[in-house]
Amino acid sequence: MPNQTTNFNDIFKSSFLNDITNISIVDTAIALLLAFAIGVFIFFVYKKTFSGVMYSSGFGVTLIALTMITTLVILAVTSNVVLSLGMVGALSIVRFRTAIKDPLDIAFLFWAIAAGIVLAAGMIPLALIGSILIGVVLLVFVNRKPHFNPYVLSLSCTDKDAEEKARTFIKENVRKMAVKSKTVTKNNIELNLEIRLKGEEVGFVNTLSDFSGVTSAVLVSYNGDYMG
């Protein structure tokens, strides 16, 4: 009777594992060109929707490169089972140390990766239509300005009477006011107030700083991330 024992060499010699799907140069070039085009579109949307303090062009270029690299990796993974297992093992040791400060940046990173995966899988209409819709949604909602811009007013007073007088004056000149924090030390009271202006006029801060007992009044734009 023939030997029915199967060892590891027989498993790795299996045609299933050794089978490599040929990917033509034309298909590869088309996939990478489309990945580049979608990456540029993602970069454009990122640039138009950026609302941070310091714009990083390097991150935008990274989005283009990430889309193309993901497409290249998925094309290689889909060509052979053994290669895909090795690729998973190799990528699992990669560690990213760069901190992502803006949650919206994470969305752009996942968008670039997802577009690369879908393109390499051959779902070109899904990648194109999906990217266009995502871009339109981001452009509409991220660039949408609030009706009333929020601000934080930092106020320093010497005593309680000056504080009460300043708060009454502020209420009369703003649409909305809320106390975010209050620090009391000897001969000093510090307040951080979230306010909504009635318009674009901020001249009331100049008048406020001239009040007796008010040592300083600082008005800054409030981006929603309050640290106190």
Q: Does the pTM of the predicted model rise above 0.75?
A: no
* 227: confidence class by pLDDT, cuts 50, 70, 90: very low
DSSP 146: P
Q: Could you tell me if 151 and 219 are in contact, meaning their C-beta atoms sit under 8 angstroms apart?
A: yes
> Of 47-56, 66-75, 219-228, which range is least confident?
219-228
pLDDT single digits (tens) 152-200: 888 888 888 888 888 888 888 888 888 888 888 888 888 888 888 777 7
Q: Residues 128-145: pLDDT tens digits?
A: 999 999 999 998 888 765
- Mean pLDDT, residues 96-120 taken together: 82
Contacts of residue 192, Cβ cutoff 8 Å, sequence gap at least 6: 152, 153, 154, 155, 179, 180, 181, 182, 228
Q: How far is CA 169 from the centre of its chain?
A: 39
The Cα 224–Cα 152 span in angstroms is 10
Whole-number Å distance between alpha carbons of 213 and 168:
14
Sequence ranges of the domains in the chain: 10-142, 150-221
Burial of residue 10 (number of CB atoms within 10 Å: 0-12, 13-18, 19+) = exposed
Local structure of residue 48 (DSSP, 8 states)? H
Q: What is the pLDDT of residues 2-26, one digit of tens each?
A: 555 555 555 445 444 454 556 678 8
Q: Which CATH number fits domain 150-221: 3.10.180.10, 3.90.550.10, 1.10.3720.10, 3.30.70.260?
A: 3.30.70.260
Closest CA to 121 of 206, 210, 199, 27: 27
Percent of the chain with pLDDT over 70: 72
